[in-house]
Structure 1
Amino acid sequence: MTDKALSITQVSKDRGKTRVLDDITLSLAPGQRVALLGHNGAGKSTLIKSILGLTSIHVGTIRIGDATPGSAQARRDTAYLPEAVSFHPALTGREQLTLFAQLSGSRADVPSLLDRVGLGNALDRRIGTYSKGMRQRLGLAQVLLGRPKVALLDEPTSGLDPISRQDLYAIIDELAGQGTAVLIASHALTEVEARTDRIAIMREGRMVADDTLNNLSALAGLPIRLKVRASANPEALAAELGGNRINGASVELLCSPDDKMEALRRIAGLGDAVADVEMTPPKLEDLYRHYAQEEMQ
């Protein structure tokens, strides 16, 4: 028995002469939320299809719990929300979700489930009248059927307005709280930065980063930005601290994490000449650029 909801071990896959997955290793524990990032063509979709058992791998192993992708047990334990979700336009939301529940053997309360994803007022409307965001919500309701061990979400906020995005991540948090491991493939870096436990970054079929945001930041060694606002004389402040003048009244400094405290002591030593200090650590966008940058030719 394994204590991992999803285990991917040294997986490789070739498409013709091109290696599209190259020695990928990734694991998710029950309840973990992991963001899967990478440029288009990095291999994210191929990896997800391999987890679902829709495409074969040539080397390595993938397990959903103890089950092999594509097996009956793996299909029961895995939920999937594609980016381009599609349903029969002639069915109502209630009919479509009821059909999915019957196919999965779930005894879910369909009206309550649709209400939970914000479709309570549209459960008897035909899906052909739904907006893209409403179809995305219906897809999320499908993910919520039963209690999957693993949920694979491919660009789950596509087509959703800001409030709906917040609602979606609240539901993702509920899923994780129930023990579902959630893998989110997304380009919405600001969203996943605050709502996931780990960041995994792929580049050209390889996994180039897999850790918490804080650990990735420390490993990358990217600089911290300090914005120092002068009380009265920005020229004198710039001369004392160096750095770049910005907005006419402030100076921006870059320092390594190890030098942060020394820089703050220097700034504090200037006393009343300093009106304010803002410190900005590297953001996920900075880390993504660092780890996912294309190799030099």
Structure 2
Amino acid sequence: MRRFADRHVGAVGLGCRGMSRADPGSSRDDRRPVALIREAVDLGVTFLDTGDVDGAGHDETLVGRAVRGIRDLVVVGTGVGRVVDPETGRTRGDGRPEHVRAAVVASLRRLETEVIDLCYLEGADPEVPAAETWGALADLVAEGRLRHLGLSEVTVAQAEEAHRVHPVAAIRSELSLWNRDALDGDGNVVGWCAANGAAFVSYAPLGRGTPRAGDAVRRVAERHAVTPAQVAIAWTLAQGGHVIPVPGTTRQCHLYENTRAAGVDLTEEDLAELDAVPPPAQDSAGRVTGP
């Protein structure tokens, strides 16, 4: 188990971003992802991570349907503060208070809930001071529409700035054997979270594009009779009792594999061997380019 704010959640969460198609007009079968989320909860996964832009909001809709009748059993985290640029098709930050307020109201509707457990501010908007956007979200906490606030992909300095306005309950960022930026030096966001009572939500704990495991990971996996993927998630868990990995999957077999990683007890020898392996070279999209 892990602690998030005033709740205990399963050690391994579920990334629910990308469970639906980005095109809202395309055909889709919602039954499979809804059933997968329900099965995850049955397996003890009680931290669900999603976002309002992902799948044009449909990912939130899937989560809302999946937790009907069991809403009190789960912590639902979603992100606001991004919009799709119609000219480029890419997302950009929109930190206007009126936008984040409208986005939260829309997320509440899609998630079929009266209050969102954790709302991340995502994306930087150069036109709006971050403190102004964060203050607007803090107002929604005061109104009872949000329970806790989080940040996504921020530096320690940005986290401290926000924390002075309203407590930061979680930071969501990438962390894996293949990307350890969140652990580095002055940018040690994982350490900042530990020192300030915040959770660190690790997305992509298996790396992006399924990078090759490497000899060290395979050796550790063989010693424990588990899979390399389970070793990778267990390594992420070992970075602190406040770290909650949220691997995403649409396949039942991977769901079982990922959740069972919480039972892998890595030794100091295992961790030293894994820590000694330098992360592979990556391109700007986080894809492995080296051996």
Shorter-normalised TM range: 0.3 to 0.5
TM-score by length of 1: 0.34
Between structures 1 and 2, the one with greater strand share: 1
Identify which of structures 1 and 2 has the higher relative contact order when contacts are C-alpha pairs closer than 8 Å and 6+ apart: 1
> Which structure has the larger Rg?
1
TM-score by length of 2: 0.34
